[in-house]
Structure 1
Amino acid sequence: MSIYPDAGILADTLMKQCGASDYAGYDPFDGLNSALFRRLRLSSVPFAQIAWLQFHKRSRFNFRPLVGVPPLRNPKGIALIILGLLERERRVHDDWNVAEAMRLAEWLMEQRSERKTWKHNAWGYHFDWAARAFFVPRGTPNAITTCYVARALAALGQHTGDTRFVDAATDAGLFLDSLYRNDGDYYAYIPGESAFVHNANLWTAATVGEAASRLGSEALMRRALKAARRSGDLQREDGAWRYGTRDHHGFVDGFHTGYNLEALTVLQRAACTDEFAGRIELGMNYYRTTFILPDGTVKYYDDNVWPLDTHSVAQALITLINVGASKADHDLASRIYKRAIETLYLPRHQRFMYQRGRFSANKVNYIRWTQAWAFYALGMLSNLTKKTDATLEMAVSPGEDNESY
């Protein structure tokens, strides 16, 4: 008997686990929600916020319950759960998935950032977020969260015919368009910040492009394409992208590369163009040969396997299925899944760990970064396998005029 569980069954197991807490949980970056940190007033100490956040992100032990970090829902995590529920509905057709997705979508609508300030639908994280480039208070909208929520709402609205959700996603595209910077022809990650990060720029371009397509807005589409060309021009000759343009953005990692390729694919579809086909092909060739080892191990960085990371695995599956889409890509996705079961899955806990290093493992349960991503990606893989099996069955089934049977 195979040691590898069926991807659909495993996706169902992850869904039940996430649903047991009503999709609330911890996040690698939620350390600043700590009641203890606030009481000690450590934010007045230079770099204390980044140090505190990184301590909790990197620790193999989950100190959050001890320092007063509550488990909460994350808007991006909920968006991924909705996308996963739609994949599950395509597989099992029991209608519960749509009802649950609708319930979660209503919650997302309630979690929109303050419309008086931002004018349009937008979403951010439920925690203060400190990085070297900027500090972002909780609730401040950001490009990536808004893009994923818009994608989930649009997909749900299209599946159900509920135009409220499609309209909400389209309106989010107008917020994202407000992040366009004329001084560089790109979309910023955070309102008022100038950091140029490729995955934020490209996903925003894709989401604005989809809004432009629904609205029939040539002006929106022109800006989306111009921003995508800017990132395209900065793609290296080998097909790679640095994370961004600042000095400390020089690293190249797998899941952000996958984001870039998926976003370009979505934008091409929205714009009815093949303008970026060469960029995508070049990037996919680089992605396959650089980030995926022959045994299916997914590397984190271009120059380092470690850490093995469930998020990286999930994006690899999505990239190969949605962007590559060849039989060889699908076979590679199956190999990646089996390797992830061997290296990252925790059978006793029936979930995936966060990361595995060369000598140790971080098994903290993160819903947004780990389980939600795995649920969505495994749902896609299961539907792909089901579709492939159905095609093979049709190919070998005897027909009335097939004389070889």
Structure 2
Amino acid sequence: MAKLLDKGDPGQVGAICDQLFHAIRNDEYCGYDPYDALNSRLFSGLGGMRVRVARIVWQQLHRRSPVNLRKLCGVDRSRNPKGIALMVLGLIERFEQRGSNTDLDEAVRLADWLLSQRANRQTWPHSAWGYNFHWAARAFDVPLGKPNAITTCYVVRALLALWRVTNEYRFIECALEAGRFLQSLFTVQDDTAFYRYVPGESAMVHNANLWSAAIVALTASQAGDRVACEQALLAARHSVRAQGADGAWRYGERSHHGFVDGFHTGYNLEALSTLQHALATREFGQAVDQGMAFYRRAFFAENGDVKYYANRTYPLDTHSVAQAVITLLRVGRADEDYALAGRVIDRAIKHLYLPNENRFVYRRGKYWSNRVNYMRWTQAWAFYALSLYSAEGDRRARDAQ
């Protein structure tokens, strides 16, 4: 199958996407995640959840291991709201490309599942979503059930996209309510305005800040809330001021957040582009142009490989590949970007796709490969990116006629 993709033919990419989708659906959209190790019944039974350092070490052990130890340690496969949101976005691309009610009906079914998975309404009065696991990191320690900005942003994106093609009120109603949750994350510290990644946490992370600003802009403009729109601009300006002269962004503002990677850079660019469109402004045009120039220059090898970090190629990561395709098509938009996206997909199919299993590997290093099947981090991202590329190919073909 990989040999059929040497020229990035959207039709053949669509065939791979079909195979991937059927594999995901056969698993009922359930899977493991790089960060789900704290769902382990073994670890909990041994008392590990009571020690923060142990939580971080246990999580990192499973994230980095090329051998999947989760079943042995009592971690169940489950659905992740962000992963489901990505599937909805991909299904909408397929529906708009093919006009198939089957794809639309499946997107609606998954979106209704998302509505049923909102964070506890007594604790969180506005619609919001978190991950399906306890998440431990140096900057955050987020219990299962606590919502966060990024998951909520992606769910809102899916709900808004589905509302636009179905006109179903429940989707826009929930999306606007979730926008108010994101508004509640707006904070001012030392004369700096930004959106928190996690309620109650003070760490500033640029992709969470910019995506929150973009989604607040979308929902607040729909609701006619000018104050919230202005707050979104204030928060975005903070991240734009933090952009380097070369167009790059550090991940965040903590001392250990100094790295520059491809998929977070792509997030930032897509979010800024979305914000500008939502508020009909070109205020951040220079930042987007500089960021895209850096992105194209720093994260793509001549052969089409997508670099994980700006200063080195490996590991090759399906998540980075998917966001690269999305950024090139959603933000870059030029013919050269579409051609580069095709080369990226060709390379990914040849080196990251497992045709006998109809899925992608998590990561490939220079001398090793991590083939663990991750739903949210890997397969859902790949499905969305391939759906988008295939649909974009059809749109370009129609426009050329």
Q: Same fold, TM exceeding 0.5?
A: yes
Alignment deviations for residues 159-216 of structure 1 (CA, whole Å, 9 cap, x no partner): 1010210111111110001001122200010000000000000000000000111011
Q: Which runs of 5+ in 1 are unaligned?
A: 395-405
C-alpha contact (below 8 Å) 1:4/1:341 kept by paired residues: no
The 1:91/1:198 distance shift into structure 2, 3 A limit, reads: same
DSSP 3-state at the match of 2:3: coil
Following superposition, the deviation at residue 287 of structure 1 comes to 0.1
- Scaled by the length of structure 2, the TM-score of the pair is 0.96
* Structure 2 residue 190 is the aligned partner of structure 1 residue 190: no
DSSP 3-state at the match of 1:302: coil
State the percentage of identical aligned residues: 53
The equivalent residue for 1:71 is 77
Alignment deviations for residues 44-72 of structure 1 (CA, whole Å, 9 cap, x no partner): 34511011101111111111111110000
Alignment deviations for residues 248-289 of structure 1 (CA, whole Å, 9 cap, x no partner): 000000000000000000000111101011000000000000
* Structure 2 residue 55 is the aligned partner of structure 1 residue 49: yes
DSSP 3-state at the match of 2:78: coil
Following superposition, the deviation at residue 2 of structure 1 comes to 7.2
Alignment deviations for residues 369-395 of structure 1 (CA, whole Å, 9 cap, x no partner): 001000000011001111222334x2x
Q: Distance in 1 between matches of 2:278 and 2:207?
A: 18
Match of 2:363 among 334, 355, 377: 355
Following superposition, the deviation at residue 302 of structure 1 comes to 0.8
Q: Distance in 2 between matches of 1:142 and 1:94?
A: 33
The equivalent residue for 1:82 is 88
Q: Distance in 1 between matches of 2:50 and 2:177?
A: 37
One-letter code aligned to 1:292: F
The equivalent residue for 1:328 is 336
DSSP 3-state at the match of 1:66: coil
C-alpha contact (below 8 Å) 1:4/1:338 kept by paired residues: no
Q: Distance in 2 between matches of 1:235 and 1:365?
A: 34
With 307-316 and 157-166 compared, the bigger mean Cα shift is at 157-166
Q: Distance in 2 between matches of 1:42 and 1:143?
A: 27
Following superposition, the deviation at residue 355 of structure 1 comes to 0.2
One-letter code aligned to 2:92: L
* Structure 2 residue 230 is the aligned partner of structure 1 residue 219: no
With 35-44 and 122-131 compared, the bigger mean Cα shift is at 35-44
Q: Distance in 1 between matches of 2:108 and 2:138?
A: 37
C-alpha contact (below 8 Å) 2:2/2:349 kept by paired residues: no
Match of 1:367 among 375, 379, 391: 375
The equivalent residue for 1:156 is 162
* Structure 2 residue 351 is the aligned partner of structure 1 residue 343: yes
The equivalent residue for 2:9 is none
Following superposition, the deviation at residue 91 of structure 1 comes to 2.0
Q: How many residues are matched?
A: 393
- Scaled by the length of structure 1, the TM-score of the pair is 0.95
* Structure 2 residue 24 is the aligned partner of structure 1 residue 14: no
Alignment deviations for residues 64-95 of structure 1 (CA, whole Å, 9 cap, x no partner): 11111000000000000000110111222220
**1:1-400 equivalence runs, <5 A:** 3-5=3-5, 6-45=12-51, 47-183=53-189, 184-392=192-400, 394=401
The 1:45/1:194 distance shift into structure 2, 3 A limit, reads: closer
C-alpha contact (below 8 Å) 2:2/2:350 kept by paired residues: no
Q: Distance in 2 between matches of 1:239 and 1:4?
A: 36
Q: Which runs of 5+ in 2 are unaligned?
A: 6-11
One-letter code aligned to 1:337: I
One-letter code aligned to 1:220: A
Q: After the TM superposition, which parts of structure 1 deviate over 4 Å for at least 4 consecutive aligned residues? A: none
Alignment deviations for residues 294-350 of structure 1 (CA, whole Å, 9 cap, x no partner): 111100001111110000000000000000000010010001011111211111211
